[in-house]
């Protein structure tokens, strides 16, 4: 056999080494993706809780402070939603490759849906301090016990009973 032929055939060794490196990198990606998925769980709940704290702050008269914090909150929200979507796409790709141990992409679907609902129902509507107060009033947590206590003390105006139109 000629030496040139042997050299040509030995060229497969570097290719095999590269493939092993790629395999190692994929294992690292799977492990990191799994960590990312675990870190993203509960994202929607955390931002819903943050919104409820803002609602309570507005009820305590701290609308201006909450409005001032809006850009930072929206930046954190948008960043988390973007990371959720990216992590979902990455895990879907890994799952499609059939990588063993790859996290399931469907784990993040409820988180993304919850964040999207909050975006549409709150953050897209909240532009001004007046918007914030309206949204906070809408979402203020009144329990049935609270309403039972308030109801008997606050009777409708007499004009309510005299009204003959049917607004509903």
Q: What are the residue ranges spanned by the domains of the chain? A: 11-139
Short-list 82, 83, 89, CA closest to 103: 89
In the 3-class helix/strand/coil scheme, how is the chain assigned residue by residue?
CCHHHHHHHHCHHHHHHHHHHHHHHHHHHHHHHHHHHHHHCCHHHHHHHHHHHHHHHHHCCCHHHHHHHHHHHHHHHHHHHHHHHHHHHHHHHHHHHCCCCCCCHHHCHHHHHHHHHHHHHHHCCCCCHHHHHHHHHHHCCCCHHHHHHHHHHCCCCHHHHHCCCCCC
Supply the pLDDT for residue 17. Answer: 63
Short-list 83, 77, 85, 69, CA closest to 129: 69
Give 80: exposed, middle or buried? Use CB within 10 Å, 0-12, 13-18, 19+.
middle
- Please tell me whether the overall predicted TM-score, pTM, comes out greater than 0.85 for this model: no
| Torsion, Cα of 92, 97, 102, 104 (10° steps) | 30
Supply the pLDDT for residue 35. Answer: 84
Supply the pLDDT for residue 145. Answer: 74
Residue with tokens 């990198």: 25
Short-list 112, 103, 107, CA closest to 85: 112
Supply the pLDDT for residue 136. Answer: 94
Supply the pLDDT for residue 15. Answer: 59
Supply the pLDDT for residue 8. Answer: 64
Residue with tokens 């105006």: 157
Along the 168 residues of the chain, how does pLDDT read in single tens digits?
A: 577 766 666 665 665 666 677 777 888 888 888 888 999 999 999 999 999 999 999 999 999 999 999 999 999 999 999 999 999 999 998 888 887 888 888 999 999 999 999 999 999 999 999 999 999 999 998 777 766 676 677 776 777 677 777 655
Supply the pLDDT for residue 99. Answer: 79
């Amino acid at each position: 056999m000629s030496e040139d032929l042997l050299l040509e055939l030995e060229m497969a060794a570097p290719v095999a080494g590269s493939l092993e490196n790629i395999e190692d990198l994929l294992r690292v990606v799977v492990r990191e993706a799994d960590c990312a998925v675990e870190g993203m769980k509960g994202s929607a709940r955390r931002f819903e809780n943050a919104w409820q704290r803002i609602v309570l702050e507005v009820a305590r008269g701290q609308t201006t402070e909450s409005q001032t914090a809006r850009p930072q909150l929206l930046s954190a929200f948008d960043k988390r939603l973007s990371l959720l979507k990216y992590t979902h796409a990455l895990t879907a790709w890994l799952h499609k490759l059939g990588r063993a141990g790859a996290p399931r992409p469907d784990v993040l679907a409820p988180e993304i849906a919850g964040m999207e609902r909050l975006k549409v129902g709150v953050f897209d509507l909240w532009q001004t301090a007046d918007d914030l107060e309206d949204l906070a009033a809408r979402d203020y947590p009144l329990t049935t016990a609270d309403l039972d206590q308030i109801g008997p003390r606050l009777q409708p105006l007499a004009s309510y009973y005299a009204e003959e139109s049917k607004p509903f």
